[in-house]
Every structure is written in C-alpha cells, then in structure tokens.
C-alpha cells in the first residue's frame, strides 16, 4: 500500500476542486479507520462498522473539507480565513490556516464550545471571538464579514469546497467495503456532513464504482432538532455541543439526502446520546465526543422500533474525538479512588484477592 499523504495527494484528488496550481495544504487528513463493532453488531444482529473520524489530524471530519477550503484560499491569495463554529470547524480552520501561513478568525458561541476545541483554536494561533449569541448568530456574522471584508469564509454553507472534501468519507467506505452499505448513520448539526456523505455515495455510484446507495439516517439531539420538526429552533439545547444548531445552513441538502435515499432524520435524547457515548468507549474502545454518539444512539433507537432489517450492513460516522470534551466524561459520575503509596492499599482499593 502506498504511503498516505492526505486527500489532495491521494487517488481521490480527481474528485476534488483543485488544479495543478493549487498548493496542497494538508495534515494528511482522511484515510481514517473503518472498524467492526462486535458490540453493536451483536446488539442489532447487523454488521456494524464504525468510521472513526476522530482519527483525523485535528480530531474531527472537518479536516476533510478544510484541506480543500484552505488550499483554495491560499491559491486565491487570501490572507485571512473566517468561520463560525460549534468548535471543531474553528480547530480545523485554525490548524490549516497555520499550516498555510494564513490568519484565522473564528467566531464561537460564548460558553458553548468544548474546552479541547477552544484550546486547539487558541494554540494554533487563531483570533478567537466569543460571541454573546448562538452558533446561528456566529454564522450570520461570519457571512457578513466575508461579504464586507477581504477574508474567505470557510464554513460549509454554500461552500462547495468544504462539501467536496467531506464527500471523500463515502469514497473511503465504498473502497473499504467493496460497495455502499445498506444504512449510513451520522449526527446532524448544520447539515453539511449528511449532504456531503450522500453526494459522495451518489458520485461513486454514477461512475459505477458502487452498485447501490445507502439509506441515510441522520440524528439530531432532541433539544436541537429543527430538521425533525421542520422549523428552526431559536434556542437549541443539548450537551452534545457539536450539533447544537437551531437553523441548519445546509437545510435543503440534508432534507434531500434523507428523502432521496429513502432515509430519515430523527431525534435522540441527550440521555440516549450519553448512553451510546459511554458504551462506545467501554465496549468498542472508541472514545468519541458526545455529538459523535448520536448516530449510534439513533441506530439503537431504530433497532428498538423494529426499523432495522436483520443482517443489514451499517456504517456509522463517529464524527469527532473524545479528547475534545473531557469535561463531558468527568462530569459523568467520576469519583477518584485515592490511596496511599503502599501496594497493599492499592490492592485493597482494587479489590484484588489477597
């Protein structure tokens, strides 16, 4: 197998909106693990695979789109990229901007971004502005800034560059499995990723590289489920901050992915999300951030409702790394077991037989 140098310098290059003149701004994103889940397969009677997007360089799938967006920004001679973010877009934009020698300005909703993501943006050197508003406010402001000032917007909203990069996850899944799965589950926030993943499957099928298309099953948090209810949510609520979006920018794309694939977009409670979050770590050894567990929670919900055909081949996008949000783990009933530095005390604390 040839060495992996990131999406733009891979066989997927021909699918990306880059030319010979585009500098490849890359951290070797993509080519993430697709691993079998014995736990979820046994629970559902299906063949369940986990696409571990937290293995990307900044810890989320956002890197797939950001390598393209920032490469093109660098090619265009832009000096500053700007984005609104629930956290991961800002971490990714800041990293790729640093790599390209560009400035990054990131707008985040005050107090609603996981600490690991904020730490990343700060360390990569972004200008971080905490806005007294929601993600949706941040996105409106970022768009206005990009319209009025010489800065490039790198949100996925109408950003074909980001979406083109994010489609590569579907190519990787088909190349690994030999065809598309029956069902692809994923969390839905702003709607970009479900749109891009579906478009990726369709592009591959259109060229005969896949013989079938999956049903797209997207899941929103119950307190932030505008696509489920069909109306924007003014004050979205969920501890899964990456999907705390009240008015998805890629609304039509997400709905089209659902309808054209014969799929669904449904809601799962924070309790279901956190149960799945704990189980993924405990039973599969995969530590994700809370939002990333929404696809797993949704799959189990569908299974419980009898909506999942036995033996189906299922892929779940695990969108981000658990290290992004350690507070979510520790707020969850961790009490330290403390002992002296004597081995006997430690053995007793561990209930080891004498």
Ligand X SMILES: *Cc1c(COP(=O)(O)O)cnc(C)c1O
* Whole-angstrom distance, CA of residue 96 vs CA of residue 102: 8
- Indicate the residue among 59 and 181 with the shorter CB distance to ligand X: 59
Closest contact distance (angstroms) between CB of 60 and ligand X is 4
Contact between residue 184 and residue 214 where contact means Cβ atoms under 8 Å apart: yes
**247-251 contacts, C-beta under 8 A, 24 or more apart:** 247/136, 248/188, 248/189, 248/190, 248/191, 249/139, 249/155, 249/156, 249/157, 249/158, 249/190, 249/191, 249/192, 250/156, 250/157, 250/163, 250/190, 250/191, 250/192, 250/195, 251/191, 251/226, 251/227
- Indicate the residue among 37 and 321 with the shorter CB distance to ligand X: 321
For the chain, where are the alpha helices, taking DSSP H only? 38-44, 62-75, 88-100, 115-123, 135-148, 160-166, 168-177, 192-206, 226-229, 251-260, 270-279, 294-304, 326-330, 343-349
Closest contact distance (angstroms) between CB of 276 and ligand X is 13
Closest contact distance (angstroms) between CB of 89 and ligand X is 6
Among 329, 317, 322, 290, which residue's Cα sits nearest to residue 59? 322
Tokens 């696809």 label which residue?
A: 295
Beta-bridge partner residues of 83: 106
Closest contact distance (angstroms) between CB of 219 and ligand X is 10
- Indicate the residue among 231 and 309 with the shorter CB distance to ligand X: 231
- Indicate the residue among 9 and 278 with the shorter CB distance to ligand X: 278
Name the residue number minimizing CB distance to ligand X. 320
Closest contact distance (angstroms) between CB of 65 and ligand X is 9
Closest contact distance (angstroms) between CB of 266 and ligand X is 14
- Indicate the residue among 60 and 134 with the shorter CB distance to ligand X: 60
- Indicate the residue among 46 and 240 with the shorter CB distance to ligand X: 240
* Whole-angstrom distance, CA of residue 162 vs CA of residue 8: 13
Closest contact distance (angstroms) between CB of 119 and ligand X is 15
- Indicate the residue among 64 and 72 with the shorter CB distance to ligand X: 64
Query: Within 10 Å of residue 333's Cβ, how many Cβ atoms?
Result: 7
Closest contact distance (angstroms) between CB of 159 and ligand X is 11
Q: Binding residues for ligand X, per CB under 6 A?
A: 60, 62, 88, 187-193, 242-243, 289, 291-292, 319-320
- Indicate the residue among 148 and 300 with the shorter CB distance to ligand X: 300
Encoded tokens for 90? 């800002």
């Amino acid at each position: 197998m040839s060495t992996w140098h990131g999406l733009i310098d891979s066989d997927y290059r021909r699918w990306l909106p880059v030319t010979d003149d585009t500098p490849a701004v890359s951290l070797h994103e993509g080519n993430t693990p697709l691993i079998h889940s014995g736990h979820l397969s046994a629970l559902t009677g299906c063949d369940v695979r986990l696409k571990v997007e937290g293995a990307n360089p900044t810890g989320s799938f956002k890197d797939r789109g950001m390598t393209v967006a920032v490469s093109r920004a660098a090619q265009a001679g832009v000096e500053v990229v700007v984005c609104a973010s629930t956290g991961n877009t800002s971490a990714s934009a800041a990293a790729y901007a640093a790599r390209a020698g560009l400035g990054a300005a990131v707008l985040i909703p005050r107090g609603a971004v996981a600490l690991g993501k904020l730490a990343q943006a700060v360390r990569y050197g972004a200008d971080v502005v905490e806005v007294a508003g929601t993600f949706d406010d941040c996105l409106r402001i970022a768009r206005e800034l990009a319209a009025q000032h010489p800065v490039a917007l790198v949100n996925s909203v109408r950003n074909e560059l980001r979406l083109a990069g994010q489609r590569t996850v579907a190519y990787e899944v088909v190349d690994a499995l030999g065809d598309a799965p029956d069902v692809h589950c994923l969390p839905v926030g702003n709607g970009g990723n479900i749109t891009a993943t579906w478009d990726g499957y369709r592009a591959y099928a259109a060229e005969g590289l896949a013989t079938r298309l999956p049903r797209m099953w997207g899941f929103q948090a119950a307190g932030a489920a505008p696509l489920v209810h069909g109306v924007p949510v003014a004050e979205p609520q969920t501890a899964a901050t990456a999907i705390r979006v009240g008015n998805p920018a890629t609304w039509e794309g997400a709905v089209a992915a659902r309808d054209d694939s014969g799929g669904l977009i449904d809601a799962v409670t924070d309790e279901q999300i956190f149960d799945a979050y704990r189980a993924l770590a405990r039973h599969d050894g995969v530590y994700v951030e809370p939002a990333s567990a929404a696809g797993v929670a949704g799959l189990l919900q569908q299974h419980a409702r009898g909506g999942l055909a036995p033996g189906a081949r299922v892929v779940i996008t695990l969108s981000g790394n658990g290290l992004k949000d350690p507070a979510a783990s520790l707020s969850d009933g961790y009490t330290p077991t403390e002992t002296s530095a004597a081995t006997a005390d430690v053995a007793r604390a561990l209930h080891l037989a004498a």
